[in-house]
Structure 1
Amino acid sequence: MRDDRTALITGLLDLAAFLEANPEVPVSLGTVTVHQFPTHGSDAEMCAQVDKVAAVLGTEIDPKDRPYGHYATGLDFGPVRYQFTAILAAARARRQADDSYRGCVDPA
């Protein structure tokens, strides 16, 4: 886990240094989001992990994602966002059901 964290931080710093040193390389003005997810567990366990991250970030749970089965929090650093999201069991089941039909219907 610590090696993954170090690799991510190093990569982000290297990217920032590269972009700063090479102003001719284009970058978009859109938001860049670093998505992170809790370790798999029950909905309650994953929500508890999100709550813990929200406490560290000093943020609230984002209510706009709740209808989609996501329990999320995040923090913006200018156009860069750190997003920590639990995808709850019902949302994963819906996605799996939708995917179960992939390739089975030929519209032609």
Structure 2
Amino acid sequence: MSRPLPLDAHTPKRIQRRRTAGWRMPGNTVYVGRPTRWGNPFPGSYFGPAEAVRLYREWLAGTDHLGYPDAGQRRQRALDGLSNLSGRDLACWCPTGQPCHADVLLALANPTAAPAADQRKDRHLMTTAPTPRQRLIDGLRDLAAFLEQHPEVPVNGYASIDYCVDGDDDTTGLENVAAVAELAGVAVTDVGGRPVCADTTHFYARRRFGPVAYEATYIKRREMDDYDALMSYRGTVRAATTERSEVSSR
């Protein structure tokens, strides 16, 4: 594997990947399109290039535009992989001059100054650092007070704080979720709350406070790779407009 060049010797840039005969990926370049961990789950063919990039930037910052299970863990994998992009050119299929999610990754992977440890934790959103942790606690208290003061505001019958456990491999990931379970005073279970077994792919450390839960989750790499491959097609297959109109009018 080639090593990234020092930042002072090379300014990382975006490269358009091509299917032209004889074209080869340049050295010191990483492909960041689908189905890699950095692929944009918001297809430009559906949302438009600029909107797809905006959604991707906000998603990496923590806004859940996807609304499907494990979106947080997928985002965390992309963020945790930024160090692999530092100092490298990034390749995608988007034409040069057109907005591309690779530009977002270039900015995140190559900041003008190395972020401090707490800033890196803030960027990754899941942390034990005092400042963001206290902001979360204060926000939960403010939300509880608001709901008590406004009983007319509808709510779900349950809520959860989710923490996506990561690891360089399954062994490390399972050790990490076990460590969180020990801190929470619970056992690691499968998605249904049953003891884990050889076939378990989703591992949970879940502590309940009535209808409110704290959940730490680890999903095996193979399962996540299969899921990422499947979701790389999200938005590319849509029902015909006439069919939608017929359904909505029924």
Question: Is this a same-fold pair by TM over 0.5?
Answer: yes
- Write out per-residue CA displacement over residues 54-102 of structure 1, whole angstroms, 9 at most, x where no aligned residue: 1122211113466562111101100101100012201111112212333
Counterpart check, 1:4 vs 2:102: no
Give 1 or 2: higher helix fraction: 1
Alignment-mate amino acid for residue 227 of structure 2 = R
> Could you tell me whether the CA contact under 8 Å between 1:32 and 1:79 is conserved in 2?
yes
Identity %: 36
**Which residue of structure 1 aligns with residue 163 of structure 2?**
36
> Could you tell me whether the CA contact under 8 Å between 1:68 and 1:91 is conserved in 2?
no
C-alpha RMSD of matched pairs (Å): 2.3
Counterpart check, 1:17 vs 2:145: yes
| Structure 2 stretches lacking a partner, 5+ long | 1-128, 241-250
State the aligned residue count.
Answer: 107
* 3-state SS in 2 of match to 1:26: coil
**Which residue of structure 1 aligns with residue 85 of structure 2?**
none
User: Following the alignment from structure 1 to structure 2, what is the Cα–Cα distance between the partners of residues 106 and 17?
Assistant: 42
Give 1 or 2: higher strand fraction: 1
Which has the higher Rg, Structure 1 or Structure 2?
2
User: Following the alignment from structure 2 to structure 1, what is the Cα–Cα distance between the partners of residues 232 and 141?
Assistant: 40
User: Following the alignment from structure 2 to structure 1, what is the Cα–Cα distance between the partners of residues 145 and 220?
Assistant: 37
User: Following the alignment from structure 1 to structure 2, what is the Cα–Cα distance between the partners of residues 77 and 106?
Assistant: 40
User: Following the alignment from structure 2 to structure 1, what is the Cα–Cα distance between the partners of residues 149 and 189?
Assistant: 36
**Which residue of structure 1 aligns with residue 32 of structure 2?**
none
Per the normalisation by structure 2, the TM-score is 0.38
**What is the Cα deviation at residue 105 of structure 1?**
4.7
Greater alpha carbon shift after TM alignment, 37-46 vs 61-70 = 61-70
Q: Structure 2 vs 1, CA of residues 55 and 105 (structure 1 numbering), >3 Å: closer, same or farther? A: same
